[in-house]
Amino acid sequence: MAEIKSDVLAKLRLAIGKEASQATQQDWYHAAALTLRDRIVHRWLTADKESYDAGRKRVYYLSLEFLIGRLFTDALNNMGLMKVFEIALGDLGVGLMDLRKCEPDAALGNGGLGRLAACFMESMSTLQIPAIGYGIRYDFGLFRQVIVDGWQHEYPDVWLSFGNPWEFQRPEVVYHVHFGGGVEHVDDKGRARAVWHPGETVQAVAYDTPIVGWRGQHVNALRLWSARSPDPLKLDVFNSGDYLGASAEEARAEAICKFLYPNDESPAGRELRLRQEYFFVSASLQDLVKRHLGSDGQLRSLSQKAAVQLNDTHPSLAVAELMRILVDLHNFRWDEAWKVTVATLSYTNHTLLPEALETWPVELFERLLPRHLEIIYRINAQHLALAEQRAPGDIDYRASVSLIDEKSGRRVRMGQLAFVGSHRINGVSAMHSDLMKETVFHDLNHLYSGRITNKTNGITFRRWLMLANPKLTSLLQEACGDAIVDDPTLLSSLESYIADSGFHQKFRAVKHHNKVQLARLIGERMNVRLDPGALFDVQIKRIHEYKRQLLNILEAVALYQDMKDNPQADWVPRVKIFAGKAAASYRYAKLIIKLINDVAEVVNNDPAIGGKLKVVFMADYNVSLAEAIIPAADLSEQISTAGMEASGTGNMKLALNGALTIGTLDGANIEIRDNVGADNIAIFGMEAGDVMLRRQQGLDATDIIRRSPRLARAIDAIASGLFSPDEPGRFEPIAHALRHLDHYMVSADFDSYYEAQRGIDARWQTVPAWTRASILNVARMAWFSSDRTIREYADDIWNVPVGPVAAAPAHAQRA
Ligand code: 26V
């Protein structure tokens, strides 16, 4: 403790250059973070040396997104240093929790896919799997959302302006990444050889961030690439007076790592995005190939020492790039190279939405990556020959599995490319993996059967339970024993308290405490007063039509109208909390945000309903805000149109923290139901098969609305301008879609949803029944730990051994 105090003070003087008396909170945070980092680095170097000495196989997780959030308390907790730092800092007159807020979120991701990558990194460290996460060090992460007059506005996220104490720049780890130019085919001693003469070169510089596993036993690196030009300033141009032109190349190179693309917007085939993809794939493969050559001296054994996981199709170019490295640069014969490539790579699919599947125009490919296009053509030729063997003469079959989509103006299909180049392809929930086999990858699965496997997502309990909900964690430790933090399956012993009213009371007290905290935060930020005794109903996720925030707000409108009809009835007080960002160009999603805020304005200020219903839209949703909202939730909204949410992971976080789920049979909701029991979750609505059928029949909802006066009235209210008196026609497009173009089944599912919500109200009114269900959710969520998910990847895809979630060595708890 004394050592930590003196180290923090030394950092303040020597690394920050300030006396304690001059230091700002930001300075203290940096000094504390650097003090902690020193302790991490020792573990990191030891872990690294051990894994190299043992020649262990390494996992390389390639992802364009890592939605890390804050690292300070995460690293403190995993290092077992939370308490000592808290005391040491307290002695210095600074509050640990105040410092925590000085850290900006690292928002290098859009949503679930990026957050999954972050949870996986933590679990791989925890399970002592040597791993490196590879991605891009974006100068600006996901935009900052500001709500002005109910509308979303976007501002750049300047997360690096105060520096980043966690990262180590590695100026010596630099790779050249090439673009453009042409390919020459030469005869090299009787063998045809391709030589790529690129037109442009960009440098990739490494930045490493340590990711500490639970109990600090193992540390892995997240290696993010930053782009720069090998020729940053043309002096002759500068001297001639053209100052901008002199650094034009630098600007072009740096554009690659400037910002993160939205993932929930149709990929418009923008060149910069393809440049990002190749940039990070090339740098990462060069890096891992160099490491392998350093230890093994040749590349034939690559798949024995390296498992490369492609997080969605964004790194699919790895298939062509690894082939290029092996064949063009290391003289492999094509077939040998192909074996090594397929044995090394595997691919995770995260969505089946046809508009979300990445494709690139052949013409763009040819201009940017001419050699890769040739390689893809050759892969396709051998692949189509196999298809021809399997189904002779079947042109439709060949067209359906081809890597080139000939129909839509010749485009390269990145999902198909990743599939044929991988030995395992996984979906992210049982239902999603089944649908993969039945829909987009049906024909490929037929050709390469046995490759598709399921790995249901998980979440790290260290962040989403221990850190986010310390009060619940203490109670669970008291009830089930301290070991739950090492082995969440022990949570099942909570079931023995299921009839214990004393425990019920404590459990409710924890939830109440968390709700008071959240109500305070909302009061401070939004000036809305909330009753912590009300049911906190939470929907937090990207704003998207398929996630159906519209269904939720439509139910709020109907409920409001019912309350006004009958204000004396025994209404359950409810707070509907929304948070989430819409892609900047997704106008309809932004209109839904405006609708939520406009409904909030009317409902929250109508004395006629006596404060029984409140609607709150919290701005700028991110990992840290999720950590504040989730522990306070009573109800978790997981209401996507069935068949459209691949898994969901917010659903797991909320249930783990004792929220009951109201949801459709979609994604991991199904497995949550299987685990918590059908009595402890509220399922409603159409199933995936019903949705497919109904879409074939037509999307007009006139008949449905005619049969549901409540739905008709709610839509009428929105259409009439009740919530937008300043612009009565504002929500006409929404009303129209609800009536005539109900692609997402909002109208079709409305009655079922409304009824399920009233079932929730009834259950809430019987306090012991509600508490029981809530406890059972916590007790039965252990399976959704990302440690379990990573074990499955390790066994079935990567073929790497996992360490235990190590019990603490005595020294790990001390400073
Ligand atoms: C992309 C697009 C692009 C076109 C317009 C519609 C649309 C909708 C969604 C997406 C997201 C693609 C990838 C993604 O983020 N998937 C998410 O991955 C999570 C982790 O596996 C999973 O829990 C979510 O269900 C899934 O949506």
What confidence score (pLDDT) does residue 263 get?
Answer: 77
Question: Which tokens in the block code for residue 230?
Answer: 């090998």
Residue 409, pLDDT above cutoff 90: no
Residue 235 has pLDDT above 90, yes or no: no
Atom of ligand 1 at shortest range from CA of 432: 25
Collapse the DSSP code of 214 into the 3-class scheme (helix H, G, I; strand E, B; otherwise coil) and give the result. Answer: helix
Confidence of residue 59 (pLDDT cuts 50, 70, 90): very high
Residue with CA nearest ligand 1 atom 23: 648
Query: CB-hemisphere CA count at 13 Å for 353?
Result: 22
For 290, which DSSP code?
H
- Residue 116 CB–ligand 1 contact under 6 Å: yes
pTM for the complete prediction?
Answer: 0.97
**pLDDT class for 234, splitting at 50, 70, 90?**
confident
pLDDT score at 262 = 83
> Catalytic residue positions?
350, 541-542, 547, 649, 653
Ligand 1 within 6 A of CB of 588: no
Q: Does the C-beta of 429 come closer than 6 Å to ligand 1?
A: no
Which of 350, 353, 652, 789 maximizes ligand 1 atoms within 8 Å of its Cβ, making it the mutation to test the pocket?
A: 350
Nearest to 351 by CA among 290, 412, 418, 433: 433
Going by C-alpha positions, the residue among 286, 168, 169, 179 that lies closest to residue 229 is 179
- The residue whose CA has the least distance to atom 6 of ligand 1 is 264
CA-closest residue to ligand 1 atom 16: 350
Q: Which two tokens stand for residue 444?
A: 């490929």
- Fold of the domain built from segment(s) 55-70+105-150+166-454: Rossmann fold (3.40.50)
Q: Does residue 470 or residue 264 have the better pLDDT?
A: 470
Task: Tell me the mean pLDDT in the region 714-723.
Answer: 98
Cβ(521)–Cβ(628) below 8 Å: yes
Q: How far is the CA of 349 from the centre of ligand 1 (A)?
A: 9
Whether 645 is in the pocket of ligand 1, judged by its Cβ within 6 Å, is: yes
Compute the distance between CA of residue 350 and CA of residue 623 in angstroms, rounded to an integer.
20
Closest ligand 1 atom number to CA of residue 112: 19
Closest atom of ligand 1 to CA, residue 457: 21
Q: What's the whole-number mean pLDDT along residues 263-287?
A: 89
Among the atoms of ligand 1, which is closest to the Cα of residue 111?
Answer: 15
* Model confidence band, residue 265 (pLDDT cutoffs 50, 70, 90): confident
pLDDT of residue 762: 98
Task: Say how far apart CA 309 and CA 798 lie, in whole Å.
Answer: 8
* Any atom of ligand 1 within 6 Å of the Cβ of 111: yes
Pocket lining: 262 vs ligand 1, CB cutoff 6 Å = no
Would you say 365 and 321 are in contact if contact means Cβ atoms under 8 Å apart? Answer: no
CATH number for the 461-686+754-780 domain, one of 3.40.50.1820, 3.30.70.3450, 3.40.50.2000, 3.40.190.10? 3.40.50.2000
Q: Which of 116-120, 244-248, 767-771 is least confident? A: 244-248
Element (H, E) at 783: none
**SS3 readout for 95-113:** CHHHHHCCCCCEEECCCHH
Arithmetic mean of pLDDT over the chain? 96
Pocket perturbation via mutation, ligand 1, pick of 61, 65, 263 by most ligand atoms within 8 A of CB: 263
Calpha distance 198→335 (Å, rounded): 26
Question: 420, 379 in Cβ contact below 8 A?
Answer: yes
Does 321 contact ligand 1 (Cβ within 6 A)? Answer: no
pLDDT digits (tens, 9 = 90+) for 193-207: 999 999 999 999 999
Q: Please give the C-alpha separations between residue 26 and each of 18, 23, 30, 83, in angstroms, as whole numbers.
A: 12, 8, 6, 21
| pLDDT value at 814 more than 70 | no
Mean pLDDT value of segment 403-432: 96
User: Which whole number is the average pLDDT over 682-700?
Assistant: 97
User: What gap in Å lies between CA 698 and CA 743, rounded to an integer?
Assistant: 9
Query: Is 455 close to ligand 1, i.e. is its CB under 6 Å away?
Result: no
What confidence category does residue 815 fall into, taking pLDDT thresholds of 50, 70 and 90?
very low
The residue ranges of DSSP E strands in 180-305, in sequence order, are 182-188, 191-197, 200-212, 219-228
At 808 the pLDDT is 46
Q: Which of ligand 1's atoms lies nearest the C-alpha of 110?
A: 15
Q: How many C-beta atoms lie closer than 10 Å to residue 571's C-beta?
A: 16
Ligand 1 center from residue 622 Cα (angstroms): 16
- Please report, for residues 78, 177, 329, 727, the alpha-carbon distance to residue 208 in angstroms, rounded to integers and kept in the order given: 19, 19, 27, 51
How high is the pLDDT of residue 452? 98
Distance 626 CA to ligand 1 centre (A): 18
**Backbone phi and psi for residue 402, each to the nearest 5 degrees, phi listed first:** -60, 145
- pLDDT tens track for 592-620: 999 999 999 999 999 999 999 999 999 99
pLDDT at 679 over 60: yes
Q: What percent of the chain has pLDDT over 70?
A: 98
Q: What is the mean pLDDT of residues 276-286?
A: 98
Residue 200, burial from CB neighbour count under 10 angstroms (0-12, 13-18, 19+): middle
Please report the atom of ligand 1 found closest to the CA of residue 348: 21
pLDDT band at 810 (very low <50, low <70, confident <90, very high): very low
Mean pLDDT of 705-717: 98
212 closest CA partner among 127, 137, 108: 127
Domain with CATH 3.40.50.2000 in the chain: 55-70+105-150+166-454, 461-686+754-780
Distance 351 CA to ligand 1 centre (A): 5
| Ligand 1 close to Cβ of residue 649 (< 6 A) | yes
Identify the three-state secondary structure at position 174.
strand
The pLDDT of residue 243: 87
Cβ 112 under 6 angstroms from ligand 1: yes
What pLDDT shows up at residue 268? 62
> What is the reported pLDDT for 669?
98
